Amino acid sequence: MDVPAPSTPRDAVLRVLRREDPGRIVYAPNYWQWFTHHRNHGLLPPEIAHCDSQLDLIRHLALDIFSRNLYCDPTEYWFGGLSRETSEGVGTEIRRRIEDGDTITEKTHRTPRGTLSERLRYVFSESTLVQERHLLDEPEPNLDAFEQLVLARRWLFDAERWRQWRDRIGPAGVVIAGELFSPLKMLHLAAGAADAVYLLEDHPERCAEWMAAHEEAQLDLLRQMLDAGVEAIMSMDNLDAAFHPPAYVERYSASFYERASRMCRERGAVFFIHACGRQRALLPLIASLGVDGLEGVAYPPLGDVSLDEAMRLSGDRLIITGGISAAETERFRSFRETRDYLARLVDSLRPHRHRFMLSASCNTSTRTPWEVIRWFRDAWCELGQSNHE
């Protein structure tokens, strides 16, 4: 029986979130870095010179929206923008300055046990954010001060700002609150992925206390989101098996993922995790925890599992987004090449389109020519997947 066409892009996205056949492939790209880079460097082609934001670009292309970075400031952090961090008893100072065209952000926490600081650099020439200094970068990191920070830290959700973005997007799709991060990611952000391993091995009891406190604080933020009516929530963990091996996920993050998934399910929301890199070893585990979806699953050569295989490995409920990476956008030289690739992908995922969204596997490379972005949109329409003709 033919599936009725969705009435709006939002209807199509919501059908996938309910694991219902949307009637076509949902196409919800991520142009955050690409658009920012081209706008800031005066590289926007005349066709989209009128666009002031990623949202304007997606509207211009008449695509679907399922996004967690429409509202983010790329010069400040890789995610966030709908919540504010607070720490009772800890004095926090944020200073920003311009250095050689780059935006430098220095964040300092003064606790009764000492001072912690980190430094981020937004590299203007590459339109990317890098961490130059972590909170625990010292040869002898101040673990007492870090402990005070973690135990005191809470987040406040800006429900009004989320509602403004929801209303601004309207029938075009769904905005994701990408504000959370797991206990293991908390250590990665504080010390770097490599040094986080040493912390876990050298100070297991202290790390367990910190991670438990972080989990509760994050679940409190999740409750605030659900109380505000947020429909889709994402943990921004970059869930790559190289940095989140299955044994570590089971030991340090499984409780958070399972509890967050259950809370969302009970309130009619969905819980996603940002994922790129190697996923094969993680897919069955993540699916078993009740997680609703993974954003940006990478496939060869960037990842280690094809998308149709990822669907099979993840059971019958895990929603997966992805399908377009720099391997295609930087390499394709014609519309025919783009259409043939998309036709093969759509055909292989046809049995799974009730839990798949076509998107960027992590992001759209800044080196992607504008013509390729248009070719993918045009191929999507030509293959009968668009309801915007």
What pTM was computed for the model?
0.96
The predicted pLDDT at position 389 comes to 43
Mean pLDDT across 45-55: 97
The predicted pLDDT at position 386 comes to 61
The predicted pLDDT at position 74 comes to 93
pLDDT band per the 50, 70, 90 thresholds, residue 38:
very high
Of the chain, the percentage scoring pLDDT greater than 70 comes to: 98
Mean pLDDT across 100-128: 97
pLDDT exceeds cutoff 80 at 242: yes
pLDDT exceeds cutoff 70 at 388: no
Residue 102 C-beta-side C-alpha neighbours within 13 Å: 18
The predicted pLDDT at position 244 comes to 97
The CA distances from residue 102 to 72, 75, 296, in Å, are 18, 9, 28
pLDDT exceeds cutoff 80 at 384: no
Mean pLDDT across 118-141: 96
pLDDT top residue among 259 and 4? 259
Mean pLDDT across 99-126: 97
In angstroms, the CA 289 to CA 317 distance is 11
In angstroms, the CA 26 to CA 35 distance is 21
The mean pLDDT value of the chain amounts to 96
Interval 312-362: pLDDT, tens: 999 999 999 999 999 999 999 999 999 999 999 999 998 999 999 999 988
pLDDT band per the 50, 70, 90 thresholds, residue 1:
low
pLDDT exceeds cutoff 80 at 2: no
